[in-house]
Structure 1
């Protein structure tokens, strides 16, 4: 099997940044920035008003743009949201992402306020990507039908299995296992991030994706990344949404089923896997296939039912048996951190390359009006400094 180049080799430094201007005049209060900051803090207008000791009407007027906040209120907003006052000033590129423009893996279990927080986070990921693209040539988007935040649904088959087969062909993937699923996405210009973007909120935010920004973005959360096989399937599932549901209203159960079908066929093509599946339930045999193909045992059990090798009743018994054995510790999940090709690297590599040529993390933070720590959070950098412990 031929080995693909690492994503870092696809980055090229621009010698001179290209200037970009925002839509509003610099120095003017930007109401959209207040909305973004409030959504990122998972705070309602009423909650912000109470924290600032102003009326909810005043906050509403600030966000609508009818009345800008006074300088003292602007300072208090900056303190409330832990942002520099300059964050709220217009003049920087901004792309608003509406709730209907993102596919959440667990939409019904994700409260609206947490979805808004996730969307605000994704907006800032795009802003960082946009700033980096002025400095570093990131791999171009190679997603059939995608152009500047839109998907032409006529380019690919509507059937998820056929779409998965065609994408493997278009991307020139050889037969067999996809060795590095996340890196494959990045090499085709899709931004992937794996970061605890909202603290405890990620407990109910599984994963989500959007094709409604100038670059498609997939957000994976570390709370759900303790199993590399589930992580790979989730990434392929979100790729299915990008391919199949660019113009569809998210949240439909049929769309989730289609994205699962796409992921299963993309990771384990039926023509290749079907002959390898046991004709009777053998969890040991499925565990070996699981390791060979980089998918979970439960996914392999489902595949057996999907291709008609076992009945519905046999499928349920096998799934229950696997769950029991997993509960006894006989099937150990493997963390994503042990598989570098499944940890996003594109943004971190771009930041590092820019830094090697004089554009520091602080420079990016100044441009985006964010803290350096916030930039680190957006790219998914963990704080790896040793912890000082005092012993009596």
Structure 2
């Protein structure tokens, strides 16, 4: 995949100038003898020191543990149909999140947690395995909203105003919390169905709107851009990095997630 190869080339080049975080991604599927997705999620929270409460800044946490995360538009035909992609076939694990997730921070967080589940549990299993996708979803749900912690904040009677507060506190969508409530046996299928319908009505009417990830810096990838800023203080320039990679400087900026440095003309 061309984009992933380029991302790795950039990462490898940056590691010549800056020491990136140590890769701390345990192979729990091997260590724990085929754990359930929920057990793996709980163990990862423990090892990463997230033992109680919400997992704030998921993307930044992944980066702090050595995972390369990128948020981008993938225009290539081979990847244009996927929502996200992850691999452990490189010296550092890589997670690619597509830009269609960026308009909904909760959706992006769940997708990132889902891909983290694949990294921990599946070691690059072929895409499209339905059971593995379900396992990654279960991992993500337990990672973001552990059953033993979230159940006391959910109710047998679904009130959307109260659910909104829980949603914001835990960084999980109201829809996911309704599903979680049903999954934990707190509400019936019919109650969950009515709550889904009410949510859809609110969304259709414009009362309920998505929150862009751009309002949440901790969910926007920053590892490589931060490494580049640090390298700039130690003599690296954009031109030197571009020459090393044999890329145009604009391509380097794009891969780092930066916008063009040219001023924009505004007509008034």
In the superposition, the TM-score normalised over structure 1's length comes to: 0.65
Decide which moves more: 261-270 or 171-180: 171-180
1:335 maps to which of 212, 217, 225: 212
How many angstroms does 1:384 deviate by?
6.4
- The answer (yes or no) to whether the contact 1:281–1:318 under 8 Å persists in 2 is yes
Give the direction of change, closer, same or farther, for the CA distance of 1:353–1:317 in structure 2 (3 Å limit).
same
Name the CA distance, whole Å, in 2 between partners of 1:196 and 1:247.
22
- The answer (yes or no) to whether the contact 1:186–1:192 under 8 Å persists in 2 is yes
Larger Rg: 1
Give the direction of change, closer, same or farther, for the CA distance of 1:320–1:204 in structure 2 (3 Å limit).
farther
1:153 maps to which of 13, 18, 29: 29
Equivalent residues in 2 for 1:32-47, closer than 5 Å? none
1:252 maps to which of 129, 134, 146: 129
Equivalent residues in 2 for 1:297-336, closer than 5 Å? 297-336=174-213
Structure 2 unaligned regions, length at least 5: none
How many angstroms does 1:317 deviate by?
2.3
**Who is 2:7 aligned against?**
125
2:223 maps to which of 346, 349, 353: 346
**Who is 1:183 aligned against?**
60
How many angstroms does 1:144 deviate by?
0.2
How many angstroms does 1:383 deviate by?
3.1
1:143 maps to which of 11, 25, 48: 25
Residue 356 in 1 paired to residue 227 in 2? no
Structure 1 unaligned regions, length at least 5: 1-118, 146-151
How many angstroms does 1:311 deviate by?
2.1
**Who is 1:57 aligned against?**
none
Name the CA distance, whole Å, in 1 between partners of 2:260 and 2:151.
44
Decide which moves more: 307-316 or 262-271: 307-316
Name the CA distance, whole Å, in 2 between partners of 1:384 and 1:180.
28
How many angstroms does 1:199 deviate by?
8.2
Report the secondary structure of 2:69's partner residue.
Answer: strand
CA deviation profile, 1:122-172 (whole Å, cap 9, x unmatched): 111011101111111000100002xxxxxx731244310000000001111
**Who is 1:274 aligned against?**
151
- The answer (yes or no) to whether the contact 1:197–1:378 under 8 Å persists in 2 is no
CA deviation profile, 1:234-270 (whole Å, cap 9, x unmatched): 1111100100110522211111111111111001111
Runs of 4+ that moved beyond 4 A: 199-203
CA RMSD of aligned residues (A): 1.9
Higher relative contact order (CA 8 A, sep 6+): 2
- Figure out how many residues of one structure are paired with residues of the other and give that number: 267
